[in-house]
């Protein structure tokens, strides 16, 4: 339906000229340019600061005064590389775990009828309203307790942080996936069953392939979420050598007086690039995924 | 069709050895069981009975679920549910529990460890005991002492009294190598000076034998407590004869003149943490202001970002505008830029003396973005607009596609102008699908900790408040300040405030979801 409209309007409107064009279309381009300036300005600023040799806040005010890679070179000798690897490790494992656990749960709710199904869904909906992050004091205490029993999972360990992030995997994502799973016809399951497929084969071989778009969205959102998560990482990761990017760059960027501003800017640019690329690449999925979550039940 | 009746009944896939999936499952289950049993033994050693019971029950359930022919749905649900139970439900329950205790600095542990700690803090050197050259070790991040006693090397740390380590190497009376530990050099010791000076390593299991401590990280001596604990009377007596009696209400040893011994221990304090927010005059004023600002911030954040996002979505929903794909990609940039970085970059740009905004855009004026409460709030709303409008733009663009075109066409035929069409058709229809996201956005901003913490740090601070809280703090950053940033961390009070936030967020979400009939859709 929407496509039909587009064709119609295009036929009518290609003849717009001069004043009418300005009134109906032209000003939108002006607005777009203004918005683009607003959108990219802070990004340009930080890019410029990262290329500025002086590396102080004052020195960064003349945009693109100098092009020097000194900050980036220094970055390579600092803890930054380590933080970046930590962030990637923590966020990737979290994203994969979230996708697998969330998809499995959504599949169970969507395909099976068992006692407690409705109650379980309602409970999830209610739990989802209470962000896990809010209980950060208790999470800190739990981290201490777990560390006593499994020293490898104690305070300061990345595995601990991943476990905490995975604790929120069901609450926030099951509904997004549940709605999508419901759109896959049940007949597929039955047909596969008649052909002799096992439960595991149906789940991994058929369903998971059909729901790839929503898996990508949830995985991406989870990755980005844990990549930028600060408060829990700050509590769990105690020392500079095991910080993630969010904690490490905060320490650099928030130091008012002797802030290594050039270093921070260079770090910010490098830290932002992978996320921006991910977003641009998966933009379509995000748009459809967000609206699917909002529109479909 | 009916051939299956002639076959022998097929094995359940859960037990069919010939399938590769089964082998994978066996390996995974073996790992899970090994980990579980290790945990059970460790928690037995630590006397953590709650953890032990949880692990036993979990192991039984997990093994039943994955080796049974039934419980197919549970196979898919159990992993997620386990995480949910531990890291979300337990954590919330524990928040509720801690909120009714005085848990925090000075009340960190049970009574037994507190008594030991009191004795260790009030210690002095025992005359005529030998000193030992001491090596300071790092064992997986924990500081330990190593000494040579006779011809044996002994190592101990905060939990473990001195024990003989067989395969350690000593050069004369100084330990040079301990397996599984690194010996810290002088600069490393300086970095962790407080840890080293605070460490007391018990000589034996009996606290009366005293403990090893060091003032200079080179020589260690034996120290004993100057306080004597009388178990029957539950009192401490100091060397001067002052008597401290245990007070189970406060979790402290208190003398007649009101002086107390540190640390105390954890006790339930009833509703004290909740009422304290309102009765402590230094806290109640800031609390009410922060509560109001939290609501204002969340509501304004949703309104401003939605207004701008929707405006752009409507304007650029026009297929006659060329280059929309490019524009859209540009508008999404702030959303793609990691939020914590954006807050820090804006913090730099808004810096009062050197920031780009004051220096260049405002021509060198000094607008006090972070020292004036109102401007700090304005900065927060402004930065959040930059961060948040692309999301609203994306969402609105998506939702606009789902509004049938005939409605607009019919309205045009009926003579409605664009403005009327927007208010009477587009917006109401759009809100149906977007409202849940607006509520989610409200809840998100209500707890938007990193933005506040990174941009203003909550400042400017309220003078005289017992915690470092300020005018632009929202509730959650206030909780963080109480729990981790003040010199006297108060987990109990912080948890009580978390619960208040839980309630607010829960009520708002519930109202919202009821409004949008979200609950009906899952039926």
Q: Are residues A59 and A201 in the same domain?
A: no
- Cβ separation A246–B494 shorter than 8 A: no
Q: If you measure CA to CA, which chain B residue comes closest to A278?
A: B336
Q: Which domain holds residue A209?
A: 79-289
Pairing between strand B174-177 and B182-183?
unpaired
Q: What is the dihedral of CA B78, B84, B86, B91, to 10 degrees?
A: -160
pLDDT beyond 90 at A224:
no
Which residues 215-234 in chain B show a CB within 8 A of chain A? none
Q: Is B359 on the interface with A (CB under 8 A)?
A: yes
B418 touches chain A (CB under 8 A): no
Query: Which residues in chain A are closer than 8 Å to B76, comparing Cβ atoms?
Result: 104-105, 107-108, 112, 203
Which of B24, B337, B505 has the most A C-beta neighbours within 10 Å, making it the best mutation to test the interface with A? B337
Interface touch A10/B319, C-beta < 8 Å? yes
**What integer pLDDT is reported at residue B310 of this predicted model?**
94
Asked if residue A32 and residue A166 are part of one domain, the reply reads no
Please provide the DSSP assignment of A24-40 as one string.
IIIHHHHHHHHHHHHHH
Domain assignment of residue A91, yes or no: yes
| Chosen from B87, B107, B495 to mutate, greatest number of chain A CBs within 10 A | B87
- d(C-alpha A256, C-alpha A233), whole Å: 22
B13 touches chain A (CB under 8 A): yes
Q: Report which of B7, B453, B490 is spatially closest to residue B264, judged by C-alpha positions.
A: B490
**Is the same domain home to A135 and A263?**
yes
Q: What is the pLDDT of residue B5?
A: 43
Q: What's the count of helices (H) and strands (E) in chain A, helices before strands?
A: 17, 0
Chain B positions touching A167 (Cβ under 8 A) are 83-84, 86-88, 91
Q: What is the mean pLDDT of residues A202-227?
A: 86
Contact B345 A280 (CB under 8 A): no
Q: Are residues A60 and A84 in the same domain?
A: no
pLDDT in tens, A92-121: 999 999 999 999 999 999 888 888 888 888
Cβ <8 Å between B404 and A156? no
Domain co-membership, A206 together with A226: yes
Q: Do A61 and B360 touch (CB under 8 A)?
A: yes
Say if residue A139 is in the same domain as residue A228: yes
Least confident range from A199-208, A287-296, B180-189: namely: A287-296
- What is the per-residue pLDDT for B3? 43
Contact between A268 and B344 using a beta-carbon 8 Å cutoff: yes
What confidence score (pLDDT) does residue B133 get?
86
pLDDT at B487 over 80: no
Judge whether B113 is closer than 8 Å to chain A, CB to CB.
no
For residue B100, the model assigns a pLDDT of: 92
Domain endpoint, select from A5, A38, A67? A67
Q: How many structural domains is chain A composed of?
A: 2
Residue B353 in tokens: 């003396």
Instruction: Give the pLDDT mean for B280-294.
Output: 89
Average pLDDT over every residue of A20-31: 84
Put simply, the answer to whether A127 touches B88 (Cβ < 8 Å) is: yes
Size of interface A-B (CB pairs under 8 A): 331
| Cβ-defined contact of B330 to A40 (cutoff 8 Å) | yes
Residues of A in contact with B337 (CB under 8 A): 42-43, 272, 275-276
Looking at the fold, whether A38 and A150 belong to one and the same domain comes out as no
Q: Are residues A263 and A214 in the same domain?
A: yes
Q: Which segment of A58-67, B438-447, B480-489 scores lowest on mean pLDDT?
A: A58-67
Nearest CB to A280 within list B92, B336, B498: B336
Question: What's the pTM?
Answer: 0.81
My answer on whether A83 and A58 are in the same domain is: no
Nearest to B98 among A137, A249, A288 (CB): A137
| pLDDT at B241 exceeding the cut of 80 | no
Indicate yes or no: CB of B498 within 8 angstroms of CB of A135.
yes
B198 pLDDT higher than 90: no
B340 to chain A, any CB pair closer than 8 A? The answer is: yes
B156/chain A closest Cα distance in angstroms? 17
Give domain status of residue A297, yes or no: no
Q: What is the pLDDT of residue A1?
A: 41
- Choose the final residue of a domain: A42, A67, A92: A67
Residue A93's alpha-carbon distances to A159, A208, A226, A244, B487, in angstroms, are 9, 18, 10, 14, 35
Task: Say if B447 is an interface residue toward chain A (CB within 8 Å).
Answer: yes
Position B52 scores a pLDDT of 93
To test the contact with chain B by mutation, choose from A33, A293, A294, A297 the residue with the greatest count of B C-beta atoms within 10 A, namely A294
Range list of H helices, B128-204: 186-191, 193-198
ipTM score: 0.84
Q: Does any domain span residue A237?
A: yes
User: Does A192 lie in the same domain as A159?
Assistant: yes
Instruction: With respect to residue A294, please indicate whether it lies within any of the assigned structural domains.
Output: no
The verdict on residue A15 lying in a domain is no
If pLDDT is split at 50, 70 and 90, which confidence band does B11 have? low
Dist. CA B322–CA A179, nearest whole Å: 34
Single out the residue of B54, B458, B264, B92 nearest to residue A137, CA to CA. B92
With an 8 Å Cβ cutoff, are B434 and A102 in contact? no
A123 within some domain: yes
Residue of B nearest to A197 (CA): B13
A224 falls within a domain: yes
User: What is the CA angle A35-A40-A44, rounded to 5?
Assistant: 150
Contacts of B436 in chain A (CB under 8 A): 294
User: Which of A12-21, B111-120, B186-195, B394-403 comes out lowest in average pLDDT?
Assistant: A12-21
What's the confidence (pLDDT) of residue B516?
Answer: 65
The nearest CA of chain B is from the CA of A215 a distance in Å of: 16
CATH number at residue A217: 1.10.3720.10
Q: Which of A65, A126, A137 would best serve as a mutation to test chain B binding (most B beta carbons within 10 A)? A: A137
Residue A2, min C-alpha distance to chain B (Å): 7
Q: Is the pLDDT of residue B320 over 60?
A: yes
Q: How far is CA A155 from the centre of its chain?
A: 24
- The verdict on A246 touching B (C-beta cutoff 8 Å) is yes
> pLDDT-derived band of residue B522, with 50, 70 and 90 as boundaries?
very low
Is the pLDDT at B174 greater than 60, yes or no?
A: yes
Whether the CB-CB separation of B499 and B99 falls below 8 Å is answered with yes
Using an 8 Å CB-CB cutoff, list chain B residues near A129: 443, 505-506, 509-510, 513
Locate the chain A residue with the closest alpha carbon to B319.
Answer: A6
Mean pLDDT value across residues A201-214? 86
Closest CA to A235 of B489, B370, B499, B380: B489
- Residue A9 contacts B where some CB pair is shorter than 8 Å: yes
Q: How far is CA A14 from CA A6, A8, B418, in A?
A: 12, 11, 20
Residue B523 has pLDDT above 70, yes or no: no
Could you tell me if A38 and A137 lie in one domain?
no
> Among A10, A41, A67, which residue terminates a domain?
A67
Residue B95, CB-side half-sphere exposure with 13 Å CA sphere: 30
Cβ atoms of A252 and A263 closer than 8 Å:
yes
Read off the pLDDT band of B15 (50, 70, 90). low
Q: Which of residues 467-496 of B touch A (CB under 8 A)?
A: 476, 479-480, 483-484, 491, 494-495
Query: Looking at the complex, does the CB of residue A295 fall below 8 Å from at least one CB of chain B?
Result: yes
Instruction: Give the integer Cα–Cα distance in Å for B380 and B168.
Output: 57
The predicted-structure confidence for B440-459, as pLDDT tens digits, reads as follows: 888 889 989 989 999 998 87
Q: Does B433 contact chain A (CB < 8 Å)?
A: yes
**Per-residue model confidence as pLDDT tens digits over B385-394:** 999 999 899 8
At residue B365, does pLDDT exceed 70? yes
By three-state DSSP, how is residue B462 classified?
coil
Q: Which residue has the higher pLDDT, A63 or B332?
A: B332
Top pLDDT among B31 and B238 is at B31
Contact B397 A140 (CB under 8 A): no
Task: Give the chain B residue nearest A269 (alpha carbons).
Answer: B341
Question: What is the pairing mode between strands B131-133 and B219-225?
Answer: antiparallel
- For B342, the closest chain A residue by CA position comes to A42
Count the Cβ atoms, other than its own, within 10 Å of residue A241. Answer: 12
Q: What is the pLDDT of residues A232-288, one digit of tens each?
A: 999 888 788 889 999 999 988 877 666 688 888 999 999 999 888 887 777 666 666
Residue B171 DSSP SS3 = strand
With a CB cutoff of 8 Å and minimum separation 6, the contacts of A281 are none
Mutate to test the interface with A, among B266, B328, B341 (most CBs of A within 10 A): B341
In angstroms, what CA-CA distances link B354 with A47, A61, B60, B67, B325?
17, 8, 62, 65, 37
Q: Does any CB of chain A come closer than 8 Å to the CB of residue B510? A: yes
Residue of B91, B103, B395 lying closest to A132 (CB–CB):
B91
Is residue A163 situated within a structural domain?
yes
pLDDT of residue A293: 44
Does residue B119 surpass a pLDDT of 60? yes
Residue in chain A nearest B141 by alpha carbon: A156
Q: What are phi and psi of B219, to 5 degrees?
A: -115, 140
pLDDT digits 0-9 by tens, B336-350? 888 889 999 999 888
Report, in angstroms and rounded to the nearest whole number, the Rg of chain A calculated over CA atoms: 24
Q: Quick check: B80 and A169 CB within 8 A?
A: yes
Distance from C-alpha of A173 to C-alpha of A153, rounded to nearest angstrom: 25
Q: What is the pLDDT of residues B29-49, one digit of tens each?
A: 999 999 999 999 999 988 889
Together in a domain, A141 and A196:
yes
A83 in contact with B, Cβ within 8 Å: no
| B312–A42 C-beta distance less than 8 A | no
Q: What is the helix (H) or strand (E) element at residue B245, kind and residue range?
A: strand B243-247
Q: Is A237 on the interface with B (CB under 8 A)?
A: no
Nearest chain A CA: its distance from B215 CA (Å) = 25
């Amino acid at each position: 339906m929407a496509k039909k409209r587009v064709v119609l309007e295009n036929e009518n409107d290609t003849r717009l000229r001069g004043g009418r064009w300005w009134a109906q279309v032209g000003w939108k381009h002006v607005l777009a340019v203004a918005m683009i300036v607003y959108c990219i300005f802070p990004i340009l600023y930080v890019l410029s600061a990262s290329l500025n040799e002086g590396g102080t806040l004052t020195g960064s005010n003349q945009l693109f005064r100098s092009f020097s890679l000194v900050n980036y070179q220094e970055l390579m000798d600092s803890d930054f590389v380590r933080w970046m690897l930590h962030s990637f490790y923590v966020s990737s494992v979290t994203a994969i775990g979230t996708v697998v656990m969330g998809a499995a749960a959504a599949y169970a709710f969507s395909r099976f009828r068992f006692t407690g199904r409705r109650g379980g869904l309602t409970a999830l909906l209610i739990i989802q309203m209470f962000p896990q992050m809010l209980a950060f004091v208790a999470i800190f205490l739990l981290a201490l307790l777990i560390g006593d029993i499994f020293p490898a999972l104690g305070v300061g360990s990345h595995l601990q942080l991943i476990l905490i992030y995975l604790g929120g995997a069901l609450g926030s994502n099951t509904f997004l996936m549940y709605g999508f799973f419901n759109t896959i016809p049940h007949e597929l399951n039955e047909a596969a069953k008649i052909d002799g497929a096992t439960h595991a084969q149906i789940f991994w071989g058929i369903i998971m392939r059909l729901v790839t778009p929503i898996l990508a969205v949830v995985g991406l959102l989870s990755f980005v979420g844990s990549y930028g998560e600060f408060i829990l990482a700050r509590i769990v990761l105690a020392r500079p050598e095991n910080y993630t990017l969010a904690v490490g760059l905060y320490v650099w960027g928030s130091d008012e007086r002797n802030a290594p501003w050039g270093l921070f800017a260079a770090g910010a640019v490098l830290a932002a690039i992978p996320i921006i690329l991910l977003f641009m690449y998966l933009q379509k999925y995000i748009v459809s995924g967000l609206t699917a979550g909002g529109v479909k039940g | 069709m009916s051939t299956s009746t002639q076959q022998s009944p097929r094995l359940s896939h859960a037990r069919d050895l010939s399938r590769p999936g089964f082998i994978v499952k066996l390996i995974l289950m073996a790992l899970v069981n090994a980990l579980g049993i290790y945990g059970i033994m460790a928690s037995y050693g630590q006397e953590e009975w709650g953890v032990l019971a949880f692990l036993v029950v979990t192991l039984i359930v997990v093994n039943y679920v994955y080796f049974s022919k039934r419980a197919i749905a549970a196979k898919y649900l159990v992993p997620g549910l386990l995480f949910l139970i531990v890291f979300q439900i337990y954590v919330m329950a524990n928040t509720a529990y801690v909120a009714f205790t005085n848990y925090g600095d000075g009340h960190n542990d049970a009574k037994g460890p507190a008594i030991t700690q009191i004795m260790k803090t009030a210690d002095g050197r025992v005359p005529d005991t030998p000193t030992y050259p001491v090596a300071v070790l790092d064992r997986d991040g924990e500081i330990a002492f190593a000494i040579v006693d006779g011809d044996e090397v002994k190592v101990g740390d905060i939990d473990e009294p001195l024990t003989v380590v067989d395969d350690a190497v000593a050069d004369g009376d100084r330990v040079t190598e301990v397996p599984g530990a690194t010996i810290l050099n002088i600069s490393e010791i300086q970095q962790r000076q407080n840890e080293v000076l605070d460490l007391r390593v018990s000589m034996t299991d009996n606290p009366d034998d005293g403990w090893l401590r060091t003032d200079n990280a080179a020589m260690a001596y034996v120290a004993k407590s100057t306080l004597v604990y009388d178990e029957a009377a539950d009192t401490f007596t100091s060397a001067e004869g002052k008597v401290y009696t245990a007070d189970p209400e406060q979790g402290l040893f208190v003398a007649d003149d009101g002086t107390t011994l540190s640390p105390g221990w954890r006790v339930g304090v009833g509703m004290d943490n909740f009422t304290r927010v309102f009765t402590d005059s230094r806290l109640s004023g800031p609390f009410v202001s922060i509560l109001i600002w939290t609501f204002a911030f969340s509501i304004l954040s949703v309104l401003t970002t939605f207004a701008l996002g929707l405006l752009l979505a409507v304007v650029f929903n026009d297929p006659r505008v060329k280059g929309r794909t490019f524009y859209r990609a540009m508008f999404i940039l702030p959303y793609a830029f990691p939020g914590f970085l954006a807050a820090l970059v804006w913090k730099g740009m808004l810096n009062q003396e050197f920031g780009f905004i004051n220096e260049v855009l405002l021509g060198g004026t000094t607008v006090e973005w972070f020292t004036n409460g109102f401007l700090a709030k304005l900065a927060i709303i402004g930065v959040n607009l930059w961060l948040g409008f692309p999301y609203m733009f994306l969402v609105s663009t998506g939702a606009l596609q789902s509004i049938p075109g005939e409605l607009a066409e019919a309205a045009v035929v009926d003579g409605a102008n664009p403005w009327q069409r927007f208010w009477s058709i587009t917006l109401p229809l759009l809100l149906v699908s977007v409202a849940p996201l607006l509520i989610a956005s409200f809840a998100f901003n209500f707890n938007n900790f990193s933005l506040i913490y990174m941009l203003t740090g909550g400042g400017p601070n309220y003078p005289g408040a017992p915690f470092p809280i300020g005018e632009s703090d929202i509730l959650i950053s206030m909780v963080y300040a109480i729990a981790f940033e003040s010199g006297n961390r108060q987990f109990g009070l912080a948890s009580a405030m978390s619960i208040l936030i839980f309630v607010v967020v829960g009520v708002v979400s519930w109202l919202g979801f009821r409004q949008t009939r979200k609950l009906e859709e899952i039926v």
